[in-house]
Structure 1
């Protein structure tokens, strides 16, 4: 009986741990689309060089997500999460009107 009880306890703990933490690891952040309502509201573009400079006069050459204070990756990371877009990933070469130079 001891081995059955031990197997049950170990199995339960492993099952509980995998149920609680596996979804966190397995779920990759969603890539932000330019058509997403929040992206449209902030003028997000996957390619910063394609920003409408008339509509967004705040944009200046060289500004891109990778050098914004909100970008959650390193400057060399191709994509990373952005808190302005509820944690969705944005392109490092992208831009939005929420841009704030990393300081």
Structure 2
């Protein structure tokens, strides 16, 4: 008789955990699908960092061939994406 009671408690705790975590998973899914606006080129921080949309056209003194947003550790987009989120510009995509 006590075995059934323990199984019921475990099942209840499992369901309670799912119910508690469901809103967090939903918020994460919505955040990932929400598209960020592109970073405007007249952004003061972008100008000071020498940001350009096409890395090959950069005239910044510290630019080295092969550097671009997609291979930067601050870039959080997925491979193959044209634009994605960046930790330097959290409200825009680069």
How does the TM-score come out when normalised to structure 1?
0.54
Hey, which of these two has a bigger chunk of strand by percent? 1
Superposition deviation, residue 42 in structure 1: 1.0
Give the paired residue count.
66
Q: Within 5 Å, give how 1:1-103 maps onto structure 2.
A: 28-52=35-59, 56-90=60-94
1:29-60, Cα deviation, whole Å (9 max, x unpaired): 121011111211211100001111xxx32211
The 4+ residue runs of structure 1 with deviation greater than 6 A are none
How does the TM-score come out when normalised to structure 2?
0.59
CA-atom RMSD in angstroms: 2.1
In our comparison, the structure showing a higher alpha carbon Rg is 2
Structure 2, unmatched stretches of 5+, are 1-22
Structure 1, unmatched stretches of 5+, are 1-16, 91-103
